[in-house]
Each structure stands twice: as C-alpha cells, then as structure tokens.
Structure 1
Amino acid sequence: MSSSAGRPRATGAAASSEDARQAVLDAAAELFTTTGYAATSTRAIAERAGLRQASLYYHFPAKEDILCSLLAETVRPSLEVARHLLGLRAEAGARLWALACSDIRLLGTARHNLGALYLLPEVASPGLTVFRTERAELKDAYRALIGGIPDHAPLGTRTDLVFGLVESIAVVRRDEPALDVEAHARYGADGVLRLAGAPAPHDAFRTRALALLPW
C-alpha cells in the first residue's frame, strides 16, 4: 500500500470525535510541511486522515482553519512559559536563556516542522490574526527580558536578532534532519544571551536558568 494512503474511513460518532479532529491536524501537518500548503487540498488531507471530506469540514470549515490550529501549537506553549518567566523576580538573563532554550526545543522537537510555515504568505491573512497576535506577544516577552540586559545596541534590534535566531531552528531542522535538538537549544540560548548583550553563560548559570521553567 502506498504511504500516502489513508487509514480506514471513520464515520458517524467516530468522525466527529476528538480523535478525528487530531487525525486531520496530523495529516495536514505532514502534508503542509512536505507537499506545501498551497499544493495540499482538503481532499488530500481527508484521505490521509482516513475521513470523508464532509467530516473534515465538520471540524474545520476551511483549510485556513487547519493552518491556524497548527500554528497555534507552535506559539502557545512558549507563550505560557514566557508569561510564567515574566512573573518571576530572577535575573533577566537567566529568564531569557530559559525562554529561548524552551522555545527552540519546542520548535525543534515537534513531530512536524511547523515553524517552517511562518513564511507562508497566507500567514498575513485576516483568518490568522489570533496567531499573529500571540506571536507578537511572545516577541514582546523576549523584548521585556532583553530590556533588562544593559547594552549599547537598540532594544528593537536586539529583539529582532534574538527572535530570528530562535525561529531559525525551523530552517536548520529542515536542512539537517538528524539535528541534535537538545544541543542546538542549549547553544542557541547561549547565542541569544550574547545577542542581547550578556556574557556567555556557564554551566551553573544554565542549571539555574532551567530551574526557572514551569516543569
């Protein structure tokens, strides 16, 4: 059987279950990141998920709604971490390192490389306003933490460079499927500190920073 063939079709209650919704998201994530968003039809998603197309539309009225849900998975966990870290009184550098390490790890270990979808022109559509707003809030959290690190470079410039470094994991992951994500997250967070104007961290600093994360 071809690897593109769908699973047995779900009908009735199964087609309206949370499992069916997740099947759609999993199928779309795979197709969007391999075939491309524009080249992927809702019919192809439904077939890969093992559903009738009408069942897909029960959960997601449009393909853009699927994209919106997938992109939310790339930002909301990090946004929760950022809100937690902003509420702590620890030094800004340690909180920034922790956020960057956590964020890079999230983007690097997700089953599908959804961060690669950030550059899609469809991301600018009105239907993805919530995603853009949440991503902007996450960037503002980085800005707030970077602002606690004195440096001569403009805050906006440092924030743009840091945010770009964190999200570059999607490109690296695309080009290096065997990437050691844990090492990349650690050294990427080190790079974030340097871009923000802080000195290179040492192992004790990293240990303290990791202890700030909410898990």
Structure 2
Amino acid sequence: MSATLRENRRATMQNVSAPSVGRPRSGARRLPTASARDEILDAAAELFAQRGYAATSTRLIAERVGIRQASLYYHFDNKETVLAELLEATVRPSLDYAGEITGQGLEPAAALHALVRYDVGVLLGARWNVGILYALPEVASEPFTRFRQERERLRYAYRTLVSACGGHLDNPEITGDLVFGLVESVIGMRRDLDDLPATEVLQGIVAAAALRLVGRAPGV
C-alpha cells in the first residue's frame, strides 16, 4: 500500500466519530453531586416509602433514576440488598454514636439523653421515612440479618444505659425497650402527622420523655 493511500485512509478514519459508550440518562440527575449508587438508594427509598416495597420493582427504581435496569444490577444484586442497605443506614449511625459516648465518661442519664437526641435526629433527618418498612414480613428473612442484628445491638445499648441510670427501676430491661420504642415512635409521627414539630424540638421532647421513663428529671 502506497504512503499516499495510507494517509488518505488514516484521514478518513479520523473523521469517523467514535461510538458513544453506554446509554445516556433519560433525564436530569436526582442528586447532581451524588454517586450513581446513592441515587439508586434515594430513588428506592422514595418508592418503597410511598408506593410500598412489594409494588416497587428494580425496573421502576432504575426508571426513576434514569438508568437502565442492568446498570442498577452493577451496584446491587437485587431489590433485597437495596432495602437492606437503606434499613442499616437508619440504625448504624446511632449504634456507632452509642459506642462513642460510652467512652466519654458521661453520667448515664446524660449519655441516654444524648443518644436519644441523636437517634431521633437520624430517623427524622433521612430524606425518606424508611423506618416505616421495619415491620415488613420480608425483613425477617436472611438478606436482612445484619440489619436485625444491628438494631438489636442498638436496643441493647439503650437497655444498658437505662440500667446504669439507677437500681430503682423494677425492670430495667423492659424500661430500656420502652425508651427504644419511644425513640422509634417518631417514625409513625413522621408518617401520620401533617404538622410535625421541627426536628430539634422533637429531639428535646423525646429525650425529656425518655428521662422521665427512667425516673430522672429532664434538663440534663
């Protein structure tokens, strides 16, 4: 092949546009600064909370994000793993915080007050009210084992702090569970009340109520 022919072929190839990689999104990004994985989680949380878990498919989640269903499966194996990660995100921050305040040398009532405030903030601060999915029958299955374990560890942290608040309680374990349930009651409030108090206000109300349950005066 002559040098002139080779140069002509090279010029022709350079003028051919390279094929695009992948398929562009079908619309604007949900969360412009978030990763694709976080956008999937956000879309799934919205759909699970508003339409219901059973009524939401991975195809619908992908459509809400504006990606192909196959792209969703690059990040998650199935719908169960999406929900599991969402549920774990509602308890893990508070569980980590419980571990942090344990080593700070706080008086037990002060530590309990701090944990309640923090935990309520986590449950109310999430973009979507994922906590309403705790009672799903599917959550008792194997894919959600880690979530159930972490939630039980958080419950145990409450029991431990309540027990440390004093020996005057007839049943510290039950009282600890009552405090734990009081905290999680904000999930139902968020679902049912149209005029929910500001997060900071509700944090204070629930924390004060928790101290009353253990026989300690609010205002720690």
User: Of residues 138, 152, 164 in structure 2, which corresponds to 1:148?
Assistant: 164
Q: Secondary structure of the equivalent of 1:160?
A: helix
**Which stretch shifts more, 150-159 or 181-190?**
150-159
Contact residue 94 and residue 122 of structure 2 kept, 8 A: yes
What are the equivalent positions in structure 2 for 1:119-198 lying under 5 Å apart? 119-150=135-166, 151-180=168-197, 181-198=199-216
Q: Indicate the residue corresponding to 2:92 in structure 1.
A: 76
Give a deviation string over 1:171-206, Cα, whole Å, max 9, x none. 0001124312211111101111111232x212xx2x
Following TM superposition, the consecutive aligned residue runs of length 4 or more in structure 1 with deviations greater than 3 angstroms are none
Q: Indicate the residue corresponding to 1:44 in structure 2.
A: 60
Q: Secondary structure of the equivalent of 2:128?
A: coil
The structure with more radius of gyration = 2
Letter in 1 for 2:75: H
Cα distance in 1 for partners of 2:90, 2:194 equals 18
Number of residue-to-residue matches in the alignment: 189
Give a deviation string over 1:136-170, Cα, whole Å, max 9, x none. 11111111111111223201210111110000100
The Cα of 1:83 is off from its aligned counterpart by 0.2
Unaligned 5+ runs, structure 2: 1-23, 28-33
Cα distance in 2 for partners of 1:177, 1:138 equals 29
Q: Indicate the residue corresponding to 1:211 in structure 2.
A: none
The Cα of 1:117 is off from its aligned counterpart by 1.1
Cα distance in 2 for partners of 1:109, 1:156 equals 28
Unaligned 5+ runs, structure 1: 1-6, 11-17, 206-215
What are the equivalent positions in structure 2 for 1:11-50 lying under 5 Å apart? 19-50=35-66
TM value normalised by structure 1: 0.84
Letter in 1 for 2:177: D
Tell me how large the CA RMSD over aligned residues is. Answer: 1.5
Contact residue 9 and residue 52 of structure 1 kept, 8 A: no
Structure with the bigger RCO (C-alpha within 8 Å, sep 6+) is 1
Q: Indicate the residue corresponding to 1:117 in structure 2.
A: 133
